[in-house]
Amino acid sequence: MPEPRTIKVMIVDDHPVVRDGLKNMLLAFDDLRLVGEAADGSQAVVCCRQNQPDVILMDMVMPGMDGIAATRAILKDSPRMKIIMLTSFVEDKVVQNALEAGAVGYLLKNAPINTLADAIRSVHAGQSVLSPEATTALIRTKTSPHQPGHDLSAREREVLALIVQGLSNEEIGEKLVISTATARHHVSACLQKLGAANRAQAAALATKHHLVP
């Protein structure tokens, strides 16, 4: 029976003690091999290019380039790279941001070593791995009500700011160098997305929810 392929692992964490603990964990498994380590996101990008790991254990919070930014940069160069976020905390939006950046795993640092090893094997095989806490957080982000105006485009936010100032469609068109018809279209879109019945209500919602400067 053929030997299982060794999975090359890279560790990214700004705390040497954490890196040492993860390195010792890898030594317990014959099919996992450390090929590189980095203390921040910028080092991780360089180390990844040099060592071409199969799986990266990525810390979330680091000085300089954090884990999410490093994940985006690494996947831009190597889209097939498998990255597991390894963190001490779980916040709803952070979990969502990590997955949107391209991470395929999200685990807590206090996970048992067998759980970490199995996670590395799973993502290497093309699966996604989330801790129960991360799964719950992700569900909350998908089911909780969105803040009014979350789907406004950049142009619509500009228009909304001018609505708050009390400008008419004609004045908005002049200010943004667009036709009155286009301004009217943007105003209508703002009202619809905010669920506002009129301009005054839209302005009130924009102020209440800090949607414009």
Q: What is the pLDDT of residues 18-41, one digit of tens each?
A: 999 999 999 999 999 999 999 999
Q: Contact 94/85 with Cβ under 8 angstroms?
A: no
For 32, the enclosing helix (H) or strand (E) is strand 32-38
pLDDT at 2 over 60: no
User: Quick one: CA dihedral 187, 209, 102, 64, positive or negative?
Assistant: positive
Whether the full predicted model's pTM is greater than 0.75, yes or no, is no
Residue type, position 56, single letter: I
pLDDT at 159 over 80: yes
Residue 6 CB partners (closer than 8 Å, separation 6+): 30, 31, 32, 33
Q: What is the pLDDT of residues 176-199, one digit of tens each?
A: 999 999 999 999 889 888 888 889
Question: Residue 212's pLDDT is what?
Answer: 85
pLDDT at 144 over 60: no
Fold exhibited by the domain 154-208:
Arc Repressor Mutant, subunit A (1.10.10)
Average pLDDT over residues 58-87: 92
pLDDT at 93 over 80: no
Superfamily of domain 7-143: Response regulator (3.40.50.2300)
- Residue whose C-alpha is closest to residue 14's, from 57, 63, 48: 63
pLDDT at 63 over 60: yes
Question: Residue 153's pLDDT is what?
Answer: 86
How is the chain split into domains, by residue range?
Answer: 7-143, 154-208
23 vs 91 pLDDT, higher one: 23
Average pLDDT over residues 137-155: 74
- Rounded Cα–Cα distance for residues 128 and 104 (Å): 5
113 vs 94 pLDDT, higher one: 113
pLDDT at 138 over 70: yes
